[in-house]
Amino acid sequence: MLRLVTRENHTHNIFPGTSILIYFKVIFPELEMSQVKTMIDAKIGGKKVVVFSKTYCPYCTKAKKVLRNHYGKDLNEADVEIIEIENNPDCDAIQDYLKTLTGGRSVPRVFINGKCIGGGDETQALEQSGKLSGLLQ
Ligand SMILES: N[C@@H](CCC(=O)N[C@@H](CS)C(=O)NCC(=O)O)C(=O)O
């Protein structure tokens, strides 16, 4: 049994399963990262468009709206995966890996055909320049 003693000297007993989880997260952060990497690589390779997003993020809303406007034209909804990450317990690790992959850890991170085109501003700029449709082919 692991006991957590807070600064206020309150003692909390933590279930053995929880202590094992904490132990693994502290001792093997690289294990968590490699699982996150495997998951993200699979997602990015699995759909034409993948967006890592947070539901409350206005830049994400902007990117999702731009993409939605292509549905039924040069993009099928089925070819798009939106991954909302704010409630994912691995949210930080996901953003850390996205930074390694793309140079940025902000959301949205928008991938088209496996390549990151940037965030919300870049998605909108590609739309305004008329280049987004070409990328979606
Ligand atoms: N210029 C970026 C701005 C994106 C941005 O600032 N996103 C915020 C959320 S609204 C963010 O990721 N903040 C850091 C975080 O949530 O970890 C874009 O257009 O995508």
How distant, in Å, are the alpha carbons of 83, 104, 113 from that of 36?
A: 13, 16, 20
Residue closest via CA to ligand 1's atom 12 equals 106
Tell me the pLDDT tens digit for each residue of 39-57.
Answer: 999 999 999 999 999 999 9
Q: Which atom of ligand 1 is nearest to the CA of 106?
A: 12
Q: Which CATH superfamily is domain 31-136 in?
A: Glutaredoxin (3.40.30.10)
83-125 pLDDT tens trace:
999 999 999 999 999 999 999 999 999 999 999 999 999 999 9
Reduced to 3 states (helix: H, G, I; strand: E, B; else coil), residue 63 is: helix
Pocket of ligand 1 (CB under 6 A): 57-59, 95, 106-108, 119-121
pLDDT for 78: 98
Task: Parse the chain into domains and list their residue ranges.
Answer: 1-29, 31-136
**DSSP state string for 25-50:** HHH-HHHHHHHHHHHHHHHHHHSSEE
Query: Closest Cα to atom 11, ligand 1: which residue?
Result: 106
Q: What residues contact 134, with CB distance under 8 A and at least 6 apart? A: none
By alpha-carbon position, which residue is closest to atom 16 of ligand 1? 106
Which tens digits make up the pLDDT trace of 68-85? Answer: 999 999 999 999 999 999
CA 57 to ligand 1 centroid distance, Å: 7
Does the pLDDT of residue 9 top 80, yes or no?
no
Q: Distance (Å, rounded) from C-alpha 128 to C-alpha 67?
A: 12
Atom of ligand 1 nearest to the CA of 119: 20
- Does 5 score more than 90 pLDDT? no
pTM equals: 0.83
